[in-house]
Amino acid sequence: MKKGLVSIIIVNWNGKDHLEKCIPSVLKNSYQNFEIIVIDNGSTDGSIEYLRLNFSFIKLIRNKSNLGFAEANNQGIDSARGEYVLFLNNDTKVEKNFLSILVTRLSKDDKMGACQPKILHWEKPGKLDSIGSFLMSSGFLYHFGFEANDTGKLNKEIKLFSGKGSCLLIKKLVLDEIGNFDKDFFAYFEETDLCWRLWLAGYYLLYIPSSVIHHKTWGTSRRLTLGFVTYHSFKNRISSLITNLEIVNLAKILPWHLLICFFIALSYLIWGKPQNSLAIMKAIYWNVKNLKHTLKKRTIVQEKIRRLPDSKLFPIILKDSNISYYWYILRYSFIRSKVFKKSRDSSENSFLSLKYRPKKPIFNKSYAFFDTSYNNFKTLNYHLENWQIGYLKRIFENLKLTKDDVFLDIGSGGYGWVVIETVRSGVKQSVGIDISDPLVKRASEMAIDTLPVGEVKRCRFIPADVQKLPFRNSTFNKVSAVAVLEHVKNFKKAVDEIRRVTKKDGLVYICVPNSYENTPLLMKFINHLNDEKVEHFHHFDPYQLAKVFEKNGFLVKNLIFHAHDIKLLQWLVTYLIPFVNRNNSKIWWFFERIDNLQSKYKKSMNFSLVLRRL
């Protein structure tokens, strides 16, 4: 192993047109201590002749047939002499300082096993390919920053679960410890499996945005059928889950993952792509047939490589998304499989800036139904993440937020929508707190993803307990606490803390579940289920709670009775089901009447107090 040397491994299969741009850009990079190893998988397009004629110094390994991405890279690793190994796709173009930045950063930290540059979309200027991937609790990957605009919001170092195989720098000593790519993975998910073992061994992977390359997404894959890609993607992902997860998490995640796989297979079948549906079923069958072999690999990983338990890794590598993400990816795969065709009336506001219609007229009605469902579901999802838009509306109406306000949202949850929306409304400063560190982290990421850079500076998310708020006295003049007090055993201490941090004459909005005595009969059972699921310690009588606040220096300005689960059902009916007219629906009117009746007779699921600090 030669110190400081980078072994650049490029796998090629009929990619002469890519190599003509890739290799010259590598030769121009500022870090000149490198060797290039090209593994050719039986190309017939003149790639070999081009390399021998123009770059005779390159170490060339020829295969008689296409061995796949994983096995070819393994051949390159075995031939590498460098301290570092760079996996680089042939359909990339690198910028001058990309390698020197990566090597400098990787060499400074023994615990950093690998790093990845910012990968820009070659064919779509101004867009990211993707930042990298995180694991989701369903076993699928969340492709962070996938085809997002390169606005600078993500110009910060981020620890990733998995890097992109298109450009990944890794220490050779780490490869010696965790092993090469799984040779059973012809292509797809092989870099994720490798990165997973890297994490299990106690190392981490870092995204470094100051290093930049450009990538032609699907450059080589365009020559393959989607059935082929689908088969290997699903086969390898299931195998990797079995190999790398702890047994408890495997029992939780794998059944859910397989259920989604069956649903996707059924979706392909409905859309007239039986070959893709069959590919998923073949992938599952392969894992059943080769389970004994996979379990042997699992034993090696769990006994010889693993140093950290999943409980320490999951807070870092796990990043769940909402269900619309799955629908987005499903539609994207449909477009890739050419189920859809580009229509003449393209619209910038439609999915992926294009309108698609099925090629086969027989599926037109099905497409219209699912497309409307998708758009309605996006709307539904937004409202549900706001914990129903009614609460956000009530906060704005009753707190009368202005540009001079300093606002505190207690219990911001995983998405921080209240804080984000108050910043958008123009408040001076908005702060969200939550007792859960992962939820605070996710809310912060959501703010970075959705707010302009200038507005991000006006919001903060802090992990904190409402019973001990980390703020000075009289810091905020507007405070909201929606669905918080019922989760606190000593809620009176929380009331004291809210009073302490609120300025004199400041307004406070509190929302809590109503007492069982004041809850509609049909809702009592739902309330009971909620209590068990999310650990409610209290239900409140509105008048008794009002007295508690009055004794602690507040004036009750307003008492509002309203529904919770009824509102949820209302949104479901009006936004999820496509054939319900959202503007004139009688069902909508019916649920509005129920909500009004609950308010009129003061028997409701929830109530809110609007308070002024004396």
Q: What is the pLDDT of residues 175-215, one digit of tens each?
A: 999 999 999 998 889 999 999 999 999 999 999 999 999 99
What is the residue whose two structure tokens read 């893709």?
Answer: 276
d(CA 36, CA 290): 36
The CATH number of residue 482's host domain is: 3.40.50.150
What is the SS3 assignment for 265-333? HHHHHHCCCHHHHHHHHHHHHHHHHCHHHHHHHHHHHHHHHCCCCHHHHHHHHECCCCHHHHHHHHHHH
pLDDT of residue 392: 73
Residue 380 scores a pLDDT above 80: no
Query: Which position has the higher pLDDT, 372 or 90?
Result: 90
**Nearest to residue 44, comparing CAs of 91, 12, 69?**
12
Same domain, 217 and 231: no
What is the residue whose two structure tokens read 């297979």?
Answer: 265
Structure token digits, residue 282? 């073949």
Indicate the DSSP class of residue 396: H
Helix H or strand E encompassing 459: strand 459-463
What is the SS3 assignment for 114-182? EEEEEEEECCCCCEECCCEEEECCCCCEEEECCCCECCCCCCCCEEECECCCCEEEEEHHHHHHHCCCC
Helix, strand, or coil (residue 529): helix
Indicate the DSSP class of residue 56: T
pLDDT above 90: percentage of residues in the chain:
50
pLDDT of residue 386: 42
Query: Which position has the higher pLDDT, 273 or 266?
Result: 266
Query: Which position has the higher pLDDT, 553 or 352?
Result: 553
pLDDT of residue 600: 59
How confident is residue 322, by pLDDT bands cut at 50, 70 and 90?
Answer: low
Same domain, 410 and 496: yes
pLDDT of residue 330: 61
Same domain, 278 and 173: no
Percent helix, strand and coil across the chain, each to the nearest 5: 50, 25, 30
pLDDT above 70: percentage of residues in the chain:
76
pLDDT digits (tens, 9 = 90+) for 86-144: 999 999 999 999 999 999 999 999 999 999 999 998 887 888 888 889 999 889 998 88
Same domain, 41 and 132: yes
**Nearest to residue 18, comparing CAs of 223, 158, 247?**
223
pLDDT digits (tens, 9 = 90+) for 223-260: 567 778 889 999 999 999 999 999 999 999 999 999 98
Alpha helices in 386-475 (DSSP H): 389-399, 417-425, 437-450, 453-456
Contacts of 423 (CB under 8 A, 6+ apart): 430, 447, 451, 455, 458, 459
Structure token digits, residue 524? 């009592």
Same domain, 546 and 428: yes
pLDDT digits (tens, 9 = 90+) for 150-184: 877 788 899 999 999 899 999 999 999 999 999 99
Residue 573 scores a pLDDT above 80: no
pLDDT of residue 109: 92
What is the tally of structural domains in the chain? 3
Residue 348 scores a pLDDT above 80: no
How confident is residue 341, by pLDDT bands cut at 50, 70 and 90?
Answer: very low
Q: Which long-range contacts (CB under 8 A, 24 or more apart) does 530-538 make?
A: 534/487, 535/487, 536/486, 536/487, 537/486, 537/487, 537/488, 537/489, 537/491, 538/485, 538/486, 538/488, 538/491, 538/512, 538/513
Angle at 566 between CA 595 and CA 591, to 5 degrees: 50
Structure token digits, residue 527? 């309330």
Alpha helices in 179-225 (DSSP H): 190-200
Same domain, 407 and 499: yes
pLDDT of residue 393: 73
Q: Which amino acid is at 21?
A: K
Same domain, 212 and 234: no
Last residue of a domain, one of 193, 223, 253: 223
Same domain, 22 and 109: yes
Last residue of a domain, one of 223, 253, 284: 223
Query: Which position has the higher pLDDT, 321 or 308?
Result: 308
pLDDT digits (tens, 9 = 90+) for 499-513: 999 999 999 999 888
Mean pLDDT rounded to a whole number for the chain:
81
d(CA 64, CA 351): 42
Last residue of a domain, one of 362, 383, 404: 383
Least reliable range by pLDDT among 336-350, 505-519, 568-582: 336-350
Residue 373 scores a pLDDT above 60: no
Largest Cα–Cα separation, the chain:
88
How confident is residue 608, by pLDDT bands cut at 50, 70 and 90?
Answer: confident
pLDDT digits (tens, 9 = 90+) for 463-509: 999 999 999 999 999 999 988 888 888 888 999 999 999 999 999 99
pLDDT of residue 333: 59
Q: Is the distance from CB of 187 to CB of 231 less than 8 angstroms?
A: no
pLDDT of residue 144: 85
Domain around 92? 2-223
Same domain, 128 and 233: no
Backbone angles phi, psi at 391, to 5 degrees: -65, -45
Q: Is the distance from CB of 31 to CB of 100 less than 8 angstroms?
A: yes
What's the gap between Cα 35 and its chain centre? 36
The CATH number of residue 119's host domain is: 3.90.550.10
How confident is residue 343, by pLDDT bands cut at 50, 70 and 90?
Answer: very low
pLDDT digits (tens, 9 = 90+) for 395-437: 888 898 999 999 999 988 766 878 988 898 889 999 999 988 8
Q: Which amino acid is at 24?
A: P
How confident is residue 329, by pLDDT bands cut at 50, 70 and 90?
Answer: low
Residue 523 scores a pLDDT above 60: no
Same domain, 558 and 580: yes
d(CA 124, CA 213): 13
Same domain, 335 and 404: no
Residue 602 scores a pLDDT above 70: no
Angle at 29 between CA 27 and CA 31, to 5 degrees: 105
Same domain, 412 and 508: yes
Structure token digits, residue 406? 């300093």
Average pLDDT over residues 355-364: 41
What is the residue whose two structure tokens read 């219990």?
Answer: 411
554-562 sheet: strands from edge to edge: 459-463, 429-434, 406-410, 476-482, 502-513, 606-613, 554-562
